[in-house]
Chain A
Amino acid sequence: MKITMRLIIIIACLLLIPFTAVATAAIKQRFADGPNRVFSGGPLVSGEIYSGPEPDWSFVNTIPTIEMQLLDPPRSRVIWTVEHEAKLYVWSGYMGTTVGRLWKRWPVQAERNGKAILRINDTRYERELVRIQSGDELDGITAAITSKYPSRTTRTTIETGGVWLFEATPGL
């Protein structure tokens, strides 16, 4: 019994090492100007705020990822994006699984308050995220997504809530 207890303590102590590394890296990223990979970053500080007419968003189709910060809470993350018919879209997968819902909390926060800042090529764009759950435009948007990324996003996954899709509309 004593040996079993000791084994459990040893395993717990050893597991504490990677846990500490992950927690430290996550906390460190919170104080950074933007995200890195999976951990949320702090507010997007650097980069000019874009002002002017609505940009031609087609340039994002050549960019793998962008940075997105919600105003509430003021945390940023790296996300995929796509342009379709002159509109800009962002989305989150894994929303149909428990781990995914624990991991991806920004879509719920964005649905509550969609005010966001996108940083693309060192320029910040003030946008309002509006969730799209249905409509014929989903066919074109998902086609744009799957042609750009190795994604299994379909109209059905959006309509059933497995993927949460947002249009990044102008303004704040």
Chain B
Amino acid sequence: MKYFYYVIAVVLVVTILAVLFLPGVDDFVEQTFQRYLGRAAR
């Protein structure tokens, strides 16, 4: 379990860095979120 927490922590840091600095990742996240949000708001 300790190893799992370690992996999750690393994945979270990588996710944040990817969204902040990798071109297109933030837009992909927003597009995906928009799809689910639009469905939920109907």
Q: Which of B4, B15, B16, B40 contacts A10 (CB 8 A)?
A: B4
Q: Which of B8, B26, B37 contacts A29 (CB 8 A)?
A: B26
A28 contacts partner chain B, Cβ-Cβ < 8 Å: yes
Q: Cβ of B26: which chain A residues have Cβ within 8 Å of it?
A: 24-25, 28-29, 36
Interface of A, helix, strand, loop or mixed by DSSP: helix
Q: Cβ of A29: which chain B residues have Cβ within 8 Å of it?
A: 26, 30
A38 contacts partner chain B, Cβ-Cβ < 8 Å: yes
In contact, A6 and B15 (Cβ under 8 angstroms)? no
Q: Which of A9, A13, A20, A39 contacts B30 (CB 8 A)?
A: A39
CA A20 to CA B30, docked complex, whole Å: 12
Q: Which residues in chain A, 3-56, are within 8 Å of chain B measured between CB atoms?
A: 6, 9-10, 13-14, 16-17, 20-22, 24-25, 28-29, 36-39
In contact, B4 and A24 (Cβ under 8 angstroms)? no
The residue on B at minimum CB distance from A14 is B8
Q: Which of B1, B27, B31, B37 contacts A103 (CB 8 A)?
A: B37
In contact, B30 and A24 (Cβ under 8 angstroms)? no
The residue on B at minimum CB distance from A13 is B8
Q: Which residues in chain B, 1-42, are within 8 Å of chain A measured between CB atoms?
A: 1, 4-5, 8, 11-12, 15-16, 19-20, 26-27, 29-31, 33-34, 37, 40-42
List chain B positions with a Cβ less than 8 A from chain A: 1, 4-5, 8, 11-12, 15-16, 19-20, 26-27, 29-31, 33-34, 37, 40-42
Nearest 5 pairs of A and B residues by beta carbon: A24-B19, A38-B34, A25-B29, A94-B41, A99-B41
Q: List 7 A-B contacts (CB under 8 A).
A: A20-B15, A21-B15, A22-B33, A25-B19, A25-B33, A28-B19, A39-B30
